[in-house]
Structure 1
Amino acid sequence: MGEFMTESLKESLESFYAAKVWEDMTLGKALSAWSENYGDNIALTEADRQVTYQELEREAGRIGAGLQRRGFGKGDKIVLQLPNSIEFVISAFALFKLGVIPVMALPAQRKTEIKGIMEKSGAKGYVIKDNYLGFDYKSLAREICRESQTPPAVIVIGQSDEFIAYEDLREGPELSDEPEIGSGEVGLFLLSGGTTGIPKLIPRRHADYLYVAQKTAERCRLDQESVYLAALPVAHNFPLGCPGLLGTLTVGGRVVICPVASPDEIIPLIEEEGVTITGLVPALAHMCIEFLELDDGYDISSLKVIQVGGAVLDSYLAARIEKAFACTLQQIFGIAEGLICCTDLADGEEIRYHTQGKPISAYDEILIVDEKGREVPEGEYGELTVRGPYTIYGYYNLEEVNQSCLSDQGYFKTGDKARWQNGNLQVAGRLKEMINRAGEKITPSELEELLLRHEDIGDVQVVGIEDQELGERICVFILAQNKGLTLNGLRNYLVGQQVASYKLPDQLVYLEAWPLTNIGKIDRKQLRVLGTQR
C-alpha cells in the first residue's frame, strides 16, 4: 500500500467491491461449477488430446491430492514454469483448489529470473517440463537447488530422474476435502512485464481475477460455441484471463492449446480446430500476415475476432491485420496489475484502429494526470492512473516500490502515456519510451505510424539512443527487406509528411529479425543496445 493511502480508504473500497462487484467464488470452486454446468463438453484440445470439463475437474483434484500428500497446503507458493499444455491447466487448477499460490513463470525465463522469483516468493515447489524447445529444465532446476538454502521440491512432467514425477502425483485417492479459501484471498501471482531486473510479483485474488475473465468474455461476446486459441504463453495475463483460457471456460467454450507461438503453428490450428477467437501481440500478428501472404491456401474463415495487445498497435498495421485475417480486430490494452480496456466488436474502424476502447468494468476509475498529479483535459496526453475492483494496491513484499506507484487516493500509476479520445482510451506507449532529443519530446509511435506508410517499409521501430550531445538521438530500425533506403531518404520522406525538424531521425539500422521478449513483444531494451553498438 502506498505511503499516503489510508487504511480506511482501502477498507472502504474493499467493502464496496465485495458488496457490489465481486462474486463470492474461488478459482477452484469455479472449475467445480463449470464441470457441473458443462459436463461432457470439451474444455481443452491439444494436438490429438481432448479433455472435458468433468475430466479437468477430476484431474485437478487428483494432482491436488498428490501435492497435498507431499506436504503442500494453503498459503504455500509453487513456481509453475510450463509451456502451453493441458498439464499447465490441470496444475494451475490443482493449486487453486488447494489454496497453494501458483507463481506464473514463463518458459523463456532462465536462472537469474527463476532464482529471483523463488527467493522473492519463498516458493516451496517448482513444476517444470523435462525439456521444451531444446532447453533442459532439469539442469536449470539442479542449479537452483544447489544454490538455494532451502531447495524447492521439483516436480517434472516427463523424464523426472531424481525429482518428483508428475505422474506419481496422480496415484492415490482424489482430493476429498478442499480447504476453506476466501474469494478475496490471493489466488495467483502474475509477473510484471518489465524488461529489467527480476520480475515483480503481482498478487491477484480469486474474485478479482474471475471478474476480469467474466467481463472480458462479455466484451468479446464469448459463448459455448466459442473456440479460443491460446497462442501466446498462457502463463501471461493476456492469454490466461483477458478473456483467454479462463474467460473461455467461464462460458463453456473450448480452448485450443498452441504449443509454440509461431505462424506455422497458429494458422493451421485456426483452420483445423475452427478457432473463432485468438489473441496476439503486434509482432506476432505481423509475422502471421507474412505467413498468409506466402501461403494463401489456408481456410481461416472460422475466425471471427482477433485480439491484438501487449504493445502499441499503429493504425496502419491494425488495418492490415483485419484485412489479412478477414475478421473483426479488437484492440486490447491491459496491465497485469489490473486495468483492462478493449474496443467493442460493434465499434467502427476509427475506434478499433486508433484506440484501445473502454474499460471492461463500470467500476474502473481512470485519471490521466500530468507530472504533478493534476488531471489533464480530454485530448491531452498524460500518465494513465487507475483504481478499481481488480487493480492491485501494490506488489508483493515491495513496500518501497509501492509507496511510489500509488497516489494518495489509491490510484495505481501505470507508467503509460495515454489520453481520452471521444470517450475511448488511446495509449501511446510507456512514458520511459518517450524520446528526449535536445529537450524536445518525441513519441515513437507517431513516427512509426508515418514510416509504415512508406511503400518500402514493412515493419519499423523507433527508439531513443543515449547521445552525449543530444541527450537522446532518434534511431529508426527496419527489417532488412529493402536496404535501398538511406537515412537522408527517410528524413526527406518525413519532411514530405510535414514532420517537424526536431522529430527527424538521426540514425538508421537494418536488422534481419526483431529481438523479442519472453512474451513475443519486440524488445526495445535490446534495440537500444544494438543502436549504441552501431
Structure 2
Amino acid sequence: MSNEKREVSAPHGGLSHVTGALWPPLKSVTIPQLLREAVVAHGDREALVFCDAGIRLTYREFDAVIDRHAAGLLELGVEKGDRVGIWSPNRFEWVVTQFASARIGAILVNINPAYRSSELEYALNKVGCRVLIAASSFKSSDYAGMIRALVPELGGIGEGRLHAARVPDLRHVVLMQDDPGPGMIPFARLQQMASPERLAELDAIDATLDPQDPINIQFTSGTTGMPKGATLSHYNIVNNARFVTDRIALTEEDRLVIPVPLYHCFGMVMGVLGAVSKGARMVFPGEGFDPVQVLDAIEAERATALYGVPTMFVAMLQEMDNRARDLGSLRTGIMAGALCPIEVMRRVNRDMHMEEVTICYGMTETSPVSFQSFTDDPTEKRCETVGRIHPHLEVKIADFDGNTVPVGEKGEIWTRGYSVMSGYWGDEAATRASVNDGWMKTGDLAVLDEDGFCTIVGRVKDMIIRGGENIYPREIEEFLIRHPQVSDVQVFGIPDEKFGEEVCAWAVARPGAELTAEALREHCRGQIAHFKVPRHIRIVEALPMTVTGKPQKFVMRDRMQEILRADPAP
C-alpha cells in the first residue's frame, strides 16, 4: 500500500475542488539522474527483458549500452535540445533511444508506429526532427519503404548529412536493421561510433541538464486542427512515473509486464520510467500486443504486475479460457484507457490474481495521470470511477465560465500542478487556448463525489476512444475532405462491444459525383493509421444541422446506431 496521505483528497467546502497529498515530495531530477540512482541501488538486478528478442540486461549493463548509444548520437551531431524521432513498435532499441537521447538532453519525439507517410511527414516537420530512428517494418507497415518514398535523396548520399526537400530539418535516418541500404545508418553502428572522446563528454553534458528542460514530445490533437506536440519535461514525467507506481506499491522485487505501446505515456512514462524509479524489472512480451505472448511472459517471468487497457484484459481472459496459465505470481497493475466493466474486473481479480489492480485517468498534456484508484479501493469504485487525485496536483470541475461546480454536478476537468506540460511545440495560440493560469482544460466531463472519487461522464471534444487509442474526429475529417468527390464530412464515435467505440463517418458527395464508402476507405489506406480509418461510412445527401449551421453529431450517432441494429454489416 502507498505511504501517500489520503485525507487531503476530499472536496473543499462542498465544491468539486480537490488537492493531492504533499507526500512523497517532488524530486527535481533528470531522467539520466533517475537511471543513475537505480544503477547505484540496483545495479546487479535485471532491468529489462525482451522476451521475443531474447534480450536480458541488468541495470548496470543497460546503463553501459545507453552511454555508448548516447555517444553515437553525439557523433552524428545531435546536440542538447535537438529533436530525435522514434518510429517503432515495442523494441529494445526504443527503450535504449529513450534514455540515450535524454542522456545528452535531446528531445525524444514519439511517432505512432501506426502512422503512415503523410502523418510521418507532418510529425517530422512540425517539431523539426534532426534524426529519425525507425524499425524497418512492423505488421503491414513498411517503415523503410515509406521513409525512402518521403526522402528519395537517401539513395545517393551514403552516410553523409542529409538535406531532404520534404523534411528539411532531417539530417540522419537510423534503421533498426543490420544492412539498411544506401543513406541509412544501422542502429547497431551507433554503439560502434562511440569514441572515447565522445564518451568522455557525457558527464559534462549531464551537468548542464535541468529537470525543467523539455525532453519529450508526444502528438495529440483536438477538434481544432492537426496533431499538436505536447512538450513534457524531465520534471513532468519523472514525478508522474514515481507517483503512478507508488499507488500500486511497486518495488525492486516486482516484475512488471508492459504490453502497452511505448509511444504512449502509458508505456514510456508509467511503464518504463515507473519501473526504473523503483528498480523493478521491465518485461516486454513482444513488439505489439498478443494475448498469448503476454500470458506466456507472465508465467515464464513470474510477473507480479501488468499494464493494459480493458480490451487487452478481455482478450487475455478469452485466451485463458482456451489454455490455462499459472498466473499466481500476479498481484497488481494498471487498467487505463477506458472504464472497466465490473464483471471483467472481477475476473481479473479472481482468474488473473490481480486483486490490487488500479484504474487511472489522465491525458498526455498532464504527463499523464491525474486520478488513480488505490489498491484497496472497493471493486465498484475501481470500475465506476477513476479513483482519487494524485499527489501535488489540484483539480477542479468547472462550468463553461470556469467556475467550480458543487460536488455531484457535471463539469469539465481542469488540472493544475507539476504535471502540466510546458506547451504545444511551436503553437503558442493552442497552448493559450488549453492552459489558463496554470490550469490545463482537459476537455473531459466528470463528476466528483463527496469522497473525492472522480467519474468520467463525457467529452467536450467528441474524442473517440477505440481500444485505448485516442482518436480525434477533426483530424480524420480534414483528411477525408481532401477526397475530390467529398463536399462535406463528419466523423464521430459509436458504441462497439469489442473496442468500446468505433469510428463512423457521414459524407456528402459533390454535385454530380458518384462517391462510395469503398472509395473513401481506399483514400485512407496507407495514408492514415489503420485505427483511424472509419469502420462505418454512410454517404448522405445532407448532414443534420442546427439552425446556426453546426453539425448535430448526436443526431448522426443515434441514427447510425438504428441503422446498424437493422443491418449490422459495415
TM range (shorter): 0.7 to 0.9
Superposition map of 1:19-30 within 5 A: 22-30=26-34
* Counterpart Cα distance in 2 of 1:312 and 1:507: 26
Q: Which residue of 2 aligns with 1:96?
A: 102
Q: State the Cα distance separating 1:254 from its structure 2 match.
A: 0.3
Aligned partner (choices 180, 187, 211) of residue 166 of structure 1:
187
Q: Secondary structure at the match of 1:473?
A: helix
Q: Which residue of 1 aligns with 2:417?
A: 388
Which sections of structure 2, spanning at least 5 residues, go unmatched? 1-23, 153-165, 465-491, 507-542, 547-551
Are residues 1:417 and 2:439 paired? Answer: no
Superposition map of 1:325-340 within 5 A: 325-328=352-355, 329-338=357-366, 339-340=369-370
Q: State the Cα distance separating 1:156 from its structure 2 match.
A: 0.9
Q: Over residues 198-228 of structure 1, what are the superposed CA-to-partner deviations in whole Å (9 max), with x where a residue is unaligned?
A: 4311111112211111111111100011111
Bigger relative CO (Cα 8 Å, ≥ 6 apart): 2
Q: Which residue of 2 aligns with 1:313?
A: 340
Q: State the Cα distance separating 1:77 from its structure 2 match.
A: 0.5
Superposition map of 1:185-224 within 5 A: 185-192=213-220, 198-224=226-252
Are residues 1:473 and 2:555 paired? Answer: yes
Are residues 1:279 and 2:303 paired? Answer: no
Q: Which residue of 2 aligns with 1:526?
A: none
Aligned partner (choices 172, 182, 195) of residue 153 of structure 1:
172
One-letter amino acid matched to 2:300: E
> Aligned in 2, Cα 1:386/1:321: closer, same or farther, shift over 3 Å?
same
> Aligned in 2, Cα 1:458/1:335: closer, same or farther, shift over 3 Å?
closer
Q: Secondary structure at the match of 2:112?
A: coil
State the superposition RMSD in angstroms. 3.0
Are residues 1:254 and 2:330 paired? Answer: no
Q: State the Cα distance separating 1:463 from its structure 2 match.
A: 8.5
> Aligned in 2, Cα 1:459/1:205: closer, same or farther, shift over 3 Å?
closer
Q: State the Cα distance separating 1:26 from its structure 2 match.
A: 1.0
Contact 2:129/2:170, CA 8 A, preserved across alignment: no
Contact 2:27/2:235, CA 8 A, preserved across alignment: yes
Contact 1:464/1:474, CA 8 A, preserved across alignment: no
Q: State the Cα distance separating 1:126 from its structure 2 match.
A: 0.1
* Counterpart Cα distance in 2 of 1:278 and 1:429: 27
Q: Secondary structure at the match of 2:441?
A: strand
> Aligned in 2, Cα 1:429/1:300: closer, same or farther, shift over 3 Å?
farther
Contact 2:398/2:405, CA 8 A, preserved across alignment: yes
Moved more, 468-477 or 369-378: 468-477
Are residues 1:355 and 2:385 paired? Answer: yes
- TM-score of the two chains, using structure 2 as the length reference: 0.73
Aligned partner (choices 107, 116, 120) of residue 114 of structure 1:
120
> Aligned in 2, Cα 1:460/1:78: closer, same or farther, shift over 3 Å?
closer
> Aligned in 2, Cα 1:372/1:277: closer, same or farther, shift over 3 Å?
same
Q: Secondary structure at the match of 2:39?
A: helix
Q: State the Cα distance separating 1:56 from its structure 2 match.
A: 1.0
One-letter amino acid matched to 2:107: I
Q: State the Cα distance separating 1:411 from its structure 2 match.
A: 0.9
Moved more, 321-330 or 111-120: 321-330
- TM-score of the two chains, using structure 1 as the length reference: 0.77
One-letter amino acid matched to 1:254: R
Are residues 1:227 and 2:255 paired? Answer: yes
> Aligned in 2, Cα 1:458/1:370: closer, same or farther, shift over 3 Å?
same
Are residues 1:66 and 2:72 paired? Answer: yes
Contact 1:333/1:341, CA 8 A, preserved across alignment: yes
Superposition map of 1:372-521 within 5 A: 372-407=401-436, 409-421=437-449, 422-433=451-462, 461=501, 468=544, 471=552, 472-473=554-555, 475=557, 506-509=562-565
Contact 2:393/2:418, CA 8 A, preserved across alignment: yes
Q: State the Cα distance separating 1:110 from its structure 2 match.
A: 1.7
Q: Which residue of 2 aligns with 1:125?
A: 131
* Counterpart Cα distance in 1 of 2:105 and 2:498: 48
Q: Over residues 97-127 of structure 1, what are the superposed CA-to-partner deviations in whole Å (9 max), with x where a residue is unaligned?
A: 1111110112111212211111111110000
* Counterpart Cα distance in 1 of 2:251 and 2:32: 21
Contact 1:312/1:428, CA 8 A, preserved across alignment: no
